[in-house]
């Protein structure tokens, strides 16, 4: 809403130029965290925010990260100068090589990379860049997806229509692959962008199989869709960085698809507050790569100028040292292994209680999150039992530990029996 000079309201102590604004809704995850913090119950569990917690429910600084922090602090050459606009060179190269598997010189010449403000900043930069350069009419997003995807594209690419492709089958708590493929086959148009989760789909925890990924790549080639990968959990999901990058590498190896990838180091390095990320574009040739990268750097200059250095230094230090990288890979196995153990523990506790429904999906899903199949009514009932998760039924498995998993299972059993509605009965 704008005003001409003649229409400007008379300023008084009780008036503001901003009173016309609507109040925007708060983020549901952080709102739930606040409710949990205020809950006076001694026994309670938060399965909300997507951060790793140890067996005591505490934040965990990776031992390898802790070691490198000390090394950086003791290095007299360390300073706090500005980075180049594209970021710390050692980090950008390391991030690229981790994602694409030490690409050949021929492939490297086609990959443009720069450092971003974590994965969120990478998605935002990519959305704005594609909006300006390709001017797509539509972007196809999984139903459901990470909630912030919608907000980012609303802000960075407001003219691009967001279309949803089926992803989650509520009847079986599994991937609706046929619905996904049929919708894209029938409705997607050449030039459309398709947003894909590289691994550990957020919020469902359900990933396509390798054979299904091949069919998705076939469709992108055939329909001339532009893939936009969001890679937030490489190595954190399975414990194997190569396994978790398989889908991205398969698309690139075909040699026929140009694409972009948003990459985050929050989960796999535990650097949540450092906001370490990267954005990569794979083009058909080196000339296109250089042109695209120049536009990305131009946008970067206008938005943040220079990315932060500390977290990027930690990642680069680890990835460029074979011994430290091996130690970090053991840290990944600890985190991913604990989450798998908690999935099995929750499933086992529900089985022991003979909770109505089929809960196999909890162990079949992958990564930090589980789409439990619980309804909004059941989730709200769980809050009365001091268990907090999103109304969609998404639970952060990392919030479980040996001390609370049986309590959570008993609460789920109670609300499911009371509601008479058992998830995944049709599975």
Choose the catalytic residue: 169, 192, 207, 230. 230
Q: In a 10 Å sphere around its CB, with 0-12 CB exposed, 13-18 middle and 19+ buried, how is residue 384 labelled?
A: exposed
Say whether 230 is catalytic.
yes
- Residue 195 has φ and ψ, to the nearest 5°, of -90, 125
Say whether 267 is catalytic.
yes
Give the distance from CA 311 to its chain's centroid: 18
Q: Assign 377 to helix, strand or coil.
A: helix
Q: How long is the chain? A: 427
Say whether 44 is catalytic.
no
Q: What is the DSSP letter of 162?
A: E
Q: How far apart are CA 372 and CA 395, in angstroms?
A: 7
Q: Which residue is listed with tokens 């090589």? A: 97
Whether residue 231 contacts residue 263, with contact meaning beta carbons closer than 8 Å, is answered with yes
Residue 198 tokens, joined: 């590289």
Whether residue 358 contacts residue 427, with contact meaning beta carbons closer than 8 Å, is answered with yes
Q: How far apart are CA 261 and CA 197, in angstroms?
A: 10
Choose the catalytic residue: 60, 163, 169, 267. 267
Whether residue 194 contacts residue 184, with contact meaning beta carbons closer than 8 Å, is answered with yes
Question: How many of the other CB atoms lie within 10 Å of CB of 89?
Answer: 13
Whether residue 103 contacts residue 353, with contact meaning beta carbons closer than 8 Å, is answered with no
Q: How far apart are CA 110 and CA 256, in angstroms?
A: 12
Choose the catalytic residue: 60, 140, 146, 359. 146
Tell me the CA distances in angstroms from 46 to 155, 382, 396, 408, one per residue in order.
30, 11, 8, 10
Peptide bond between residue 136 and the one before it cis (omega within 30 degrees of 0) = no
Peptide bond between residue 144 and the one before it cis (omega within 30 degrees of 0) = yes
Give the bridge partners for 382, in sequence order: none
Residue 293 tokens, joined: 């990268």
Q: Could you give the residue numbers annotated as active site?
A: 146, 230, 267
């Amino acid at each position: 809403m704008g005003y001409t000079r003649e229409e400007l309201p008379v300023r008084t102590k009780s008036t503001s130029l901003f009173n016309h604004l609507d109040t925007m809704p708060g983020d549901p995850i952080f709102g739930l965290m606040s409710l949990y913090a205020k809950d006076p119950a001694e026994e309670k569990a938060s399965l909300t925010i997507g951060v790793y917690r140890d067996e005591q429910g505490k934040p965990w600084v990776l031992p390898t990260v802790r070691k490198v922090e000390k090394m950086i602090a003791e290095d007299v050459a360390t300073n706090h100068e500005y980075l180049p606009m594209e970021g710390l060179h050692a980090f950008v190269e390391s991030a690229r090589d981790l994602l694409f598997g030490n690409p050949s010189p021929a492939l490297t010449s086609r990959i443009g990379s720069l450092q971003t403000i974590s994965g969120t900043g990478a998605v935002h930069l990519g959305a704005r860049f594609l909006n300006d350069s390709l001017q797509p009419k539509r972007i196809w997003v999984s139903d459901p997806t990470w909630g912030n995807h919608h907000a980012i594209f609303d802000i960075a690419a407001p003219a691009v229509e967001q279309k949803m492709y089926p992803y989650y089958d509520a009847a079986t708590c599994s991937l609706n692959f046929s619905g996904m493929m049929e919708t894209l086959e029938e409705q997607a148009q050449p030039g459309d962008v398709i947003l894909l989760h590289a691994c550990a789909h957020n919020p469902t925890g359900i990933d396509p199989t390798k054979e299904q990924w091949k069919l998705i790549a076939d469709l992108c080639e055939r329909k001339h869709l532009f893939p936009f990968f969001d890679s937030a959990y490489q190595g954190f999901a399975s414990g194997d960085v190569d396994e978790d990058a398989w889908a991205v590498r398969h698309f690139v190896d075909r040699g026929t698809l140009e694409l972009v990838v948003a990459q985050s180091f929050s989960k796999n390095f535990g650097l949540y507050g450092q906001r370490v990320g990267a954005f990569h574009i794979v083009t058909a040739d080196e000339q296109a790569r250089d042109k695209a990268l120049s536009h990305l750097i131009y946008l970067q200059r206008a938005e943040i100028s220079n990315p932060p250095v500390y977290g990027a230094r930690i990642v680069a230090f680890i990835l460029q040292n074979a011994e430290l990288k091996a130690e970090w890979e053991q840290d990944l196995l600890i985190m991913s292994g604990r989450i798998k153990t908690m999935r099995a523990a929750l499933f086992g506790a529900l089985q022991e209680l003979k909770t109505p429904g089929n809960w196999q999906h909890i162990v079949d899903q992958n990564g930090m999150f589980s789409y439990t199949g619980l309804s909004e009514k059941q989730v709200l009932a769980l809050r009365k039992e001091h268990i907090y998760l999103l109304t969609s039924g998404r639970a952060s498995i990392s919030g479980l530990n040996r001390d609370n998993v049986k309590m959570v299972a008993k609460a789920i059993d109670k609300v499911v029996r009371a509601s008479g509605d058992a998830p995944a009965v049709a599975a």
